[in-house]
């Protein structure tokens, strides 16, 4: 779905001021409240906006250790391993990948011993051949989309902005 300049302005406000009302967004943007709401509804329907809940900190929830665990999977077992991963609460994300492994998971743990327990649980899943773990030392760039939205906004606004 293509987004236009108004869409990117709305997305920027949603990211920068997530607790603001649609009425206030409309005032800031100098457009009708109904226009802003219709745009937000369309962005949600088209999958551009995928959630509105709070962003939580695993560390503040008692899971300060972050690791990326690559899983090599027996051919033909990718779907069943993916389903099994969904049952492990410490896995906060999982992706099919190319390269050295078949799946890449983002795992959080209470401490290194807990991380080892989670990895042992993963290696025992039917279809998992081996794992490779990389522990994150420090977050250098937090998850963000605002710079991307700004970039898209500049591209859709044309050369005059």
What is the reported pLDDT for 161?
A: 46
Q: Which residues pair with 107 in a beta bridge?
A: 67, 91
List the single range of 1-5, 41-45, 112-116, 147-151 with lowest mean pLDDT: 1-5
Q: What is the pLDDT of residues 109-151, one digit of tens each?
A: 999 999 999 999 999 999 999 999 999 999 999 999 999 999 9
What is the reported pLDDT for 125?
A: 97
Task: Tell whether pTM > 0.95.
Answer: no
Residue 105: Cβ-neighbour burial (10 angstroms; 0-12, 13-18, 19+) = buried
Asked if pLDDT for residue 64 goes beyond 80, the answer is: yes
C-alpha 149/C-alpha 122 separation (Å) is 36
Q: Give the total residue count for the chain.
A: 161
């Amino acid at each position: 779905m293509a987004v236009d300049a108004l869409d990117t302005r709305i997305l920027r406000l949603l990211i920068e001021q997530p607790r603001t009302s649609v009425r206030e967004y409309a005032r800031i943007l100098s457009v009708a409240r109904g226009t802003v709401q219709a745009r937000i509804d369309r962005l949600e329907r088209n999958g551009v906006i995928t959630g509105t809940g709070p962003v939580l900190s695993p560390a503040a929830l008692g899971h300060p250790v972050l690791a990326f665990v690559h899983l090599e999977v027996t051919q033909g077992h990718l779907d069943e391993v993916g389903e099994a991963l969904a049952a492990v609460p410490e896995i906060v994300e999982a992706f099919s990948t190319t390269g050295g492994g078949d799946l890449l998971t983002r795992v959080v743990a209470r401490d290194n011993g807990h991380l080892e327990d989670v990895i042992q649980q993963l290696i025992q899943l039917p279809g998992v051949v081996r794992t490779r773990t990389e522990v994150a030392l420090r977050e250098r760039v937090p998850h963000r989309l605002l710079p991307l939205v700004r970039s898209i906004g500049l591209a859709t606004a044309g050369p005059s902005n």
